[in-house]
């Protein structure tokens, strides 16, 4: 009997929950307030003059321009604007390395007509000066393309045993070097 009473209470609670859920889930009519002109947002014509005066950036324009130096430009300026502010590039200056459409950042330098600087910690590929196989040190030999520490040591060992290189063909006798590539 207690079980039937408990089951009746559970069913009564479930029925009450179902009625409540049905009642709150039915659609309601909602009144829409009338539109007013003040509620429509207007686009801003720009920042207030006090803010616009502060929104400036300073860039350093150097290289092959008519008037190099610091220039104050409005925020949102591009490289082309900075180049124009410096009087333009001098005749013959190569501006192909510049992205004229790039947005400027405050404090940056624009270098006109010069190769782009290498990223920090990198060096140009290959040696900066010719390397003599007859006199080069281990470090100098390692600057040659395709020559690592092992091959550089083999070159030094061959040079010590044979007194240097008399011809380019003797490079084939160095362990680790194959036939040289013929250059026509």
Residue 107 φ/ψ region, left for φ over 0, alpha for ψ in the -120 to 50 degree band, beta for the rest: left
Note the pTM of the prediction, 2 decimals.
Answer: 0.38
Q: Which of the four pLDDT bands, split at 50, 70 and 90, describes residue 154? A: confident
pLDDT at 60: 92
pLDDT tens for 6-55 read 999 999 999 998 888 888 888 878 787 777 665 555 555 555 555 445 56
pLDDT at 61: 92
pLDDT tens for 92-148 read 888 888 889 999 988 888 988 876 554 444 455 544 567 787 788 888 888 888 788
């Amino acid at each position: 009997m207690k079980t039937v009473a408990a089951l009746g209470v559970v069913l009564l609670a479930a029925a009450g929950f179902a009625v409540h859920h049905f009642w709150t889930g039915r659609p309601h009519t909602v009144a829409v307030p009338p539109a007013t002109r003040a509620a429509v947002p207007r686009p801003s014509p720009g920042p207030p003059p006090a803010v616009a005066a502060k929104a400036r950036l300073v860039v350093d324009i150097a290289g092959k321009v008519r008037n190099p130096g610091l220039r104050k430009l409005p925020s949102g300026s591009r490289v082309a604007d900075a180049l124009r502010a410096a009087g333009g590039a001098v005749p013959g200056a190569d501006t192909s390395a510049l992205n004229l459409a790039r947005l400027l950042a405050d404090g940056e330098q624009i270098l006109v007509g010069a190769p782009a600087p290498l990223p920090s910690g990198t060096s140009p590929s290959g040696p900066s000066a010719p390397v003599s196989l007859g006199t080069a040190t281990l470090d100098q030999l390692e600057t040659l393309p395709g020559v690592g520490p092992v091959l550089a040591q083999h070159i030094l060992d061959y040079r010590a045993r044979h007194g240097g290189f008399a011809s380019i063909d003797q490079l084939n006798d160095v362990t680790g070097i194959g036939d040289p590539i013929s250059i026509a």
